[in-house]
Structure 1
Amino acid sequence: MGIISTTPLLNQAKKGKYGIVAFNVHSFDSIYWVLEAAAEMRSPVILQTTVGTVKSLGAENIVKVVKAASEYYHVPTGLHLDHCTDYEVIKQAIRAGYSSVMIDASMHPFAENVRRTQEVMDLADSLGVNVEAELGKVGGVEDNIVVSEEDAQKAVPTECKEFVQMTGVPTLAPAIGTAHGIYKGEPNIDFSRIEQIGELVDTPLVLHGGSAVPEEDVRKCVSLGMAKVNVSTELKNAYSEAIRQHFIEEPESLDPRAYLQKAKEAAKAMVASKIRMVGSEGKVVPSIIEA
């Protein structure tokens, strides 16, 4: 099946009132774990990497592994570059074979965000590569991008409409009260704002900071038009904690096959729970594959 554009995946999800989880992967083995779980759930999925992971593993290497794994498991798979501020890295990812890229210019004034997003659209759109952009500022830490609680800002619905009209961007990530990482308190999601944006914007919306958000809140976000739900920290923590627990219980057991098997089981359980949460189980259908 290989890597496919996330545009038809997300348009189909929005139309069908379900979500697609975008899992941040940080190693080659985690790519296989996520896709194995998605195959068992018969769910389309998006794998995404930070700029740091691209620099660590190499964009071309990541594409080769994702392509091989998606073909082996026969899962509709998008490959997304998350939170990138560097145009040259975006070009590198597109050349390598990524099917989706995010230009994060949300730290700039509106006009500059539009300009930078249009620049990426000019490069990606003709190649069938999905482009994601952000309005407002999601708090927390994502790779090397840090936004304090004081600096976090929610997206303005009318600006979202204007932004999409001016850029033609097919996927929009509006800041609506979530945060990257694990929450210290309760997430304060502005559902009314999501609803307003959804009424003004036809493109699928993206929920950033999806880790540790209560399931009922995520489902409500999906029902209001958030077709892509990002999960990073919870997945990373699940398999890291499994490895740590292995060495607590069996400190002399140094066989990587033993502790990585436990990490795989923990990661797959987390993936399956998130797929059920957004309602994408069983959504591998011909209309998605052929789009």
Structure 2
Amino acid sequence: MPLTTTGELVTSARAARTAVAAFNIITLEHIEAVVAGAEAAGEPVVLQVSENAVKFRQGRLLPLARAAATAAETAAVPVALHLDHIQSDPLLRQAADAGFSSVMYDASRLPYTENLAATRAAVDWAHAQGLWIEGELGEIGGKGAHVPGARTDPAEARAFVAGSGVDALAVAIGSVHAMTTRTATLDHGLLRRLSTDLDVPLVLHGSSGVPDAELTAAVAGGITKVNIGTALNQAMTGAIRRFLDAGPETVDSRAYLSEGRAAMAATVERLVRLLTGV
């Protein structure tokens, strides 16, 4: 079906009090797996390309973006494209021409005032291009989840949303990027305050390390977009490792990549069902 927009998917999820799953993609197998898993669940999904993924692809955005757009346009469910964790202004400015409907501009590493100014400039540019834009306040990586000052402050968040004009806000409530164990505990009291105080959709990053019960509670508490990356890589790498351990003579990459793709698709379907309640 035609490529949809992240804003439309998030708006629909918010109205239904569910969350849209947004998966970070690196290879063509990631793209195919996310679409297959979403189709199996019968629910929409967001394909995300991060700045780090672009670096891995030798700094070229278009090859992965074009593959994602083609897969989205032939999918049986609505699929949107999102450019994730962008710190580079030149990369940000490629978003619209590359087919992305939205971008997450990440200036959270900067002091509050500088984050606000940089995000405001990014928002002004993005809105002029018709792009939906997500910002971040607090620190989900770097400092870790529990260091004082790392979590999103509700009063700062209100001022940040008003001053920046972002369409959605990624909040730091206890999740951490790149976790390989699902042991994160979220601050649901803080999430309730943020959800009450803010009039924009809230986004959870670092969701691969969050247990199922914590994820469903987060959605009930106001999270509307859930970013997932490491869980896919764990599924893919684990399946490939098992396949090659059982058949070390294998040299045809299609054999083990098929296993990796299937494992990722199963992970996508499970998480999409969890977040949407289907």
Q: Is the shorter-chain TM-score for this pair beyond 0.5, marking a shared fold? A: yes
Name the TM tier (shorter chain): over 0.9
TM-score by structure 2 length?
Answer: 0.93
More displaced 10-residue stretch of structure 1: 90-99 or 17-26: 90-99
SS state at 2:183 partner: coil
Deviations 1:245-281 (A, max 9, x none): 1110011122222211211211111001100110164
SS state at 1:22 partner: strand
* Separation (CA, whole Å) in 2 of partners of 1:6 and 1:243: 31
> What is the total number of aligned residue pairs between the two structures?
275
Deviations 1:130-189 (A, max 9, x none): 1111001013xxxxxx44564770000111111111122111001111111226683231
Contact 2:180 2:234 in 1 (8 A): no
Report deviation, 1:48. 0.9
Alignment of structure 1 residues 116-155 onto 2, 5 Å:
116-139=118-141, 146-148=142-144, 150=147, 153-155=150-152
Contact 1:43 1:280 in 2 (8 A): no
Contact 1:134 1:172 in 2 (8 A): yes
- Unaligned 5+ segments in structure 1 are 140-145, 282-291
TM-score by structure 1 length?
Answer: 0.89
Contact 2:37 2:267 in 1 (8 A): no
Report deviation, 1:2. 3.8
In structure 2, what is the equivalent of residue 40 of structure 1? 40
Question: Percent identity at matched positions?
Answer: 34
- Unaligned 5+ segments in structure 2 are none
* Separation (CA, whole Å) in 2 of partners of 1:188 and 1:109: 26
Whether 2:181 is the aligned partner of 1:179: answer: no
* Separation (CA, whole Å) in 2 of partners of 1:7 and 1:86: 22
* Separation (CA, whole Å) in 2 of partners of 1:152 and 1:270: 33
Contact 2:216 2:274 in 1 (8 A): yes
SS state at 1:211 partner: helix
Selected match of 1:99 from 84, 98, 101: 101
In structure 1, what is the equivalent of residue 3 of structure 2? 3
Selected match of 2:77 from 64, 67, 75: 75
Contact 2:6 2:101 in 1 (8 A): yes
Aligned partner letter, 2:94:
Q
